[in-house]
Chain A
Amino acid sequence: MTTAVPAAGFAGLMLGLAGSIVLAVMGLRAQRHPDAVRRRQLQAGVWCMLTGAVVAMVALEVALLSDNFAVSYVAETHSRATPLMFTVTSAWAALDGSLVLWALILAGYTAVVSRQVRGTADRLGTGALGVLGLVAAFFFGLIALAANPFTILADPPADGPGPNPILADHLMVAFHPPMLYLGFVGFTVPFAFAMSALLLREGGVDWLRRTRRSNLVAWSFLTGGVVLGAWWSYEVLGWGGYWAWDPVENAAFIPWLVATAFIHSAVVQVRRGMLQSWNFVLVLATFSLTILGTFLTRSSVVASVHSFSQSPIGPALLTFFVLVVAGGFALIVLRAERVASLTRPESLASREGVFLVNNLLLSLFAFVVLLGTTYPILVEALTGQQVSVGRPFFDRMAVPLSFALLLAMGVGPVTPYRQATASVMWVRLRLPLLAAAVGMAVTVLAGVRSPGVVAVVGIGIGIAASSARQLVVTAPSRTPAGILRLVRGQRGYWGGQLAHLGVALAAVVIAVSGGLAERATVTLDRGQSADFASYSVTFAVSEQHPQPDRLVTDAHILLRSGGEVVRIAEPRLNSFPSQPQAVGNPSVWSTPGQDIYVSLGSLTPDRVTLNLFRYPLMMWLWVAGGLMMVGGAWALSGRRRRDTSPTAPTRQITTVG
């Protein structure tokens, strides 16, 4: 039994590898010679991939749950005392297992794509399956050769060290990594279709239409993954913030920016036939940046909570990244004539013009974050000198870019295509502008004196007002039913508007919670009190709670308002037998108006040092992330576009009415 499970897992990996190689060869062959390959052969490859990945994942879970310490992965990341939930999540809480999850998700996406490829006559589809097979072959091979979790130990230990304490502490470990991976891996699908279209020497919007869904699915999950990651870091790490511009956060944020640019530029191509080659560049950039991000976070090039250990997968991932970029760009250049756009925007003052500005800003943003993230690595590699690029740099770059993006977001959705005149724009924007001006004046009168906060609040209100005006003006009737009909009819547009609202809300919360934050560090003896943000803070007692896998030491901090205890904050320290340093957990008291964040600086039974933070509106940041996800989901919901033949638009026009 001790060896059967890892053997099955490894067999699963091998089956997946074989299946993906078959799919790669057959898929690419089917694209060249549609008659030489049958659809069932392709499907057999896909099924092998999916079955293999499922078997590997299940074997990993079984090994973890049955305390099978003969398996290397279990011996490294598990201990008998680990609670059940964190045993389950351990399957992706370390390097090897996280790659198995990656392969599983990739196999899942491939299976979905293969369902849509109805025959080998669909050369775009078979080619995309071939590319997906190639990528999957790389990942299965990588796991089997360089990150095999199923190595059988000749001399199994009696117990293991358990998972990384930070990854065994919060429910979020069950959601953030899978969601992030669903996003990351999902971008393989648009990439595969784009490469297939290039191999076919076929530009056009076919590949864009067919990947719109997967693109939006991936984007929504990536958004959720990034926001959940920020939330997790805020709730657990205890430094009082949610975003540190850490290389790992950036590694997820850069593809998100490029993918967002791609979603917008795809609209321009579908609507106006512009930016064709640019879309190929963006989709290639998105995919390769997910690989680069995985390389940065998983290869210990940068030290972080996500980089697990020294491992040979770093060079492999870097090589794959270089191959993808070089191969992809070579293909784009070779097909340059076929994919050149025939039309250009007539004026910057038009919807497509604003889309162009949006793309410029998002690409610049992504580039700047990428530069800041990799710069210290590059400098050290070239000169051996150690430098840092941190929050001050990123903030200084992100603030103006974000302001410009917010402005474009307010103007763009109501700008007409082709050519916008000043009078049309004034009619459409005067009410939102009025709302923004009222909002800014009210904010200032309410006592806010930070120009940045006031400006962001104004723009946020303007964006919301512009959406609301558009909703009322374009609805067939000004009743709830009429508005619902509009929102259900134009799901893409209104899903986008919902996501925009989420972004605007996020911007307001980021500005307000940062600009109006209060912070203090206090040291209290037992029974002593201090004042913080209209509360009286008292250190009541410190207690120890032994748990199977750790010793929890907490401090009971009473928050009094007007003499009454309104909250008992219990920040804690977790000591693990295998870890020299205790891990602190803050106590976060979230209300719609504000968060009170209490984290431990130091703790003895009679004396505590507390870092206290008050963040107004903080909770709404997570709501904003949810809004963005719902917007993405709304945009891709509804009827499926069955017809994908190039003649479809013509026929649609003739059948309308």
Chain B
Amino acid sequence: MTVTGRMTPRAVSTAVALSITVLLALTAVLLVTAVRPIPDRVQDLSERLRCPVCKSVSVAESPSETATAMRQVVADQVAGGRTDAEVVDYFRARYGDWVLLDPPTAGATLAVWLVPAIAAALGVLVVLTRTRRRRDAPTPELPAPADRLVDSAVARARADLDDREDGL
């Protein structure tokens, strides 16, 4: 590693660790104390509504006239002091649940949120059991001659690195 003449490896390690900590702290402090712009509610709400005449695109993204008109309605309602839920319900009453690109965590679309969570939990469980189970069984040690053979083969392979066929 990059060990300079003056510093021991341990000192280098400490210096790197310290620098990382200081830089991360600086980043965190600047991010936490940053003055965030007020969220654009019209944009956020438009992104959650489906454009009725387009393909998989939200009202915020579509250049179509229908979407432009809907954006205007959203802007008017936000300006009129309506809450997010009220605006969403307004469109829901007119177009049905279909208009919500962000599926609500209730009713027919509850499962689309629950199933990934269950799948993730199951997946983590499988990975953990597959690795844990074997820890109890000790790795069989190779007999000394075989071990030496392996060691010398490894040494030769390292020495002749680029003769090694693609390492996948």
Given contacts A304-B55, A344-B133, A356-B130, A390 and B19 within 8 Å (CB-CB): no
Q: How far is the CB of A460 from chain B (nearest CB, A)?
A: 15
Residues on B with beta carbons closer than 8 Å to the beta carbon of A433: 16, 20
Chain B contact patch, size range: 35 or more
Residues on B with beta carbons closer than 8 Å to the beta carbon of A360: 123-124, 126-127
Decide yes or no whether B4 CB sits under 8 A from chain A: no
From B62, B63, B139, contact of A600 by CB (8 A):
B63
Q: How far is the CB of A405 from chain B (nearest CB, A)?
A: 13
Q: Is the CB of A212 within 8 A of B123?
A: no
Give the complex CA separation of A602 and B66 in angstroms: 12
Decide yes or no whether A175 CB sits under 8 A from chain B: no
Residue of B nearest to A491 (CB): B166
Q: How far is the CB of A416 from chain B (nearest CB, A)?
A: 13
Which residues of A (641-657) have their CB < 8 Å from a CB of B? 641, 652-653, 656-657
Give the complex CA separation of A646 and B62 in angstroms: 57
From B24, B112, B113, B127, contact of A356 by CB (8 A):
B127
Residues on A with beta carbons closer than 8 Å to the beta carbon of B141: none
Which residues of A (228-266) have their CB < 8 Å from a CB of B? 238-241, 244-247, 266
Residues on A with beta carbons closer than 8 Å to the beta carbon of B101: 388-393
From A238, A363, A458, contact of B63 by CB (8 A):
A238
A345-B130, A371-B115 given; 7 more Cβ-contact pairs under 8 Å: A344-B134, A389-B103, A433-B16, A449-B30, A451-B31, A490-B166, A639-B165
From B31, B50, B162, contact of A485 by CB (8 A):
B162
Q: Is the CB of B162 within 8 A of A476?
A: yes
From B16, B55, B65, B109, contact of A375 by CB (8 A):
B109
- Ranked 7 nearest A-B pairs via Cβ: A390-B101, A489-B162, A392-B102, A437-B23, A492-B166, A492-B168, A246-B56
Give the complex CA separation of A440 and B22 in angstroms: 12
Give the complex CA separation of A188 and B54 in angstroms: 34
Q: Is the CB of B103 within 8 A of A387?
A: yes
Which residues of B (96-116) have their CB < 8 Å from a CB of A? 96-103, 108-109, 111-113, 115-116
Residues on B with beta carbons closer than 8 Å to the beta carbon of A524: none
Decide yes or no whether B167 CB sits under 8 A from chain A: yes
Chain A contact patch, size range: 35 or more
Given contacts A387-B109, A437-B24, A445-B30, A239 and B127 within 8 Å (CB-CB): no
Q: List 14 A-B contacts (CB under 8 A).
A: A240-B63, A244-B56, A245-B56, A246-B55, A247-B56, A266-B168, A344-B130, A346-B131, A364-B123, A388-B97, A449-B34, A521-B68, A602-B65, A635-B166
Secondary structure type dominating chain A contacts: helix
Q: How far is the CB of A574 from chain B (nearest CB, A)?
A: 14
Residue of B nearest to A346 (CB): B134
* A18-26, A313-321, A423-431: which lies at the interface: A423-431
Residue of B nearest to A212 (CB): B168
Given contacts A346-B134, A360-B124, A454 and B61 within 8 Å (CB-CB): no
Q: Is the CB of A656 within 8 A of B167?
A: no
Given contacts A385-B97, A434-B16, A444 and B50 within 8 Å (CB-CB): no
Interface string of B143-162 (1 = CB under 8 A from A): 00000000001001101111
Residues on B with beta carbons closer than 8 Å to the beta carbon of A611: 63
Secondary structure type dominating chain B contacts: helix
From A271, A430, A609, contact of B16 by CB (8 A):
A430
Give the complex CA separation of A427 and B16 in angstroms: 10
Give the complex CA separation of A635 and B165 in angstroms: 11
Residues on A with beta carbons closer than 8 Å to the beta carbon of B30: 444-445, 449
Q: Is the CB of B20 within 8 A of A434?
A: yes
Q: How far is the CB of A270 from chain B (nearest CB, A)?
A: 6
Residues on A with beta carbons closer than 8 Å to the beta carbon of B97: 385-388
Decide yes or no whether B142 CB sits under 8 A from chain A: no
Given contacts A245-B56, A246-B56, A348 and B127 within 8 Å (CB-CB): yes
Residue of A nearest to B101 (CB): A390
Give the complex CA separation of A485 and B161 in angstroms: 9
Give the complex CA separation of A485 and B164 in angstroms: 11
Q: Is the CB of A239 within 8 A of B16?
A: no
Give the complex CA separation of A597 and B65 in angstroms: 19
Residue of B nearest to A357 (CB): B127
Which residues of B (34-57) have their CB < 8 Å from a CB of A? 34-36, 47-48, 50, 54-57
Q: Is the CB of B31 within 8 A of A449?
A: yes
Q: How far is the CB of A554 from chain B (nearest CB, A)?
A: 16
Give the complex CA separation of A368 and B119 in angstroms: 9
Decide yes or no whether B135 CB sits under 8 A from chain A: yes
Q: Is the CB of A239 within 8 A of B62?
A: yes
Q: How far is the CB of B162 from chain A (nearest CB, A)?
A: 3
Interface string of A376-409 (1 = CB under 8 A from B): 0001000101111111110001000000000000
Q: How far is the CB of A470 from chain B (nearest CB, A)?
A: 12
Residue of A nearest to B129 (CB): A344
Decide yes or no whether A638 CB sits under 8 A from chain B: yes
Q: Is the CB of A244 within 8 A of B57?
A: yes
Residues on B with beta carbons closer than 8 Å to the beta carbon of A241: 61
From A270, A346, A454, contact of B27 by CB (8 A):
A454
Residues on A with beta carbons closer than 8 Å to the beta carbon of B47: 391-392
Give the complex CA separation of A241 and B51 in angstroms: 15
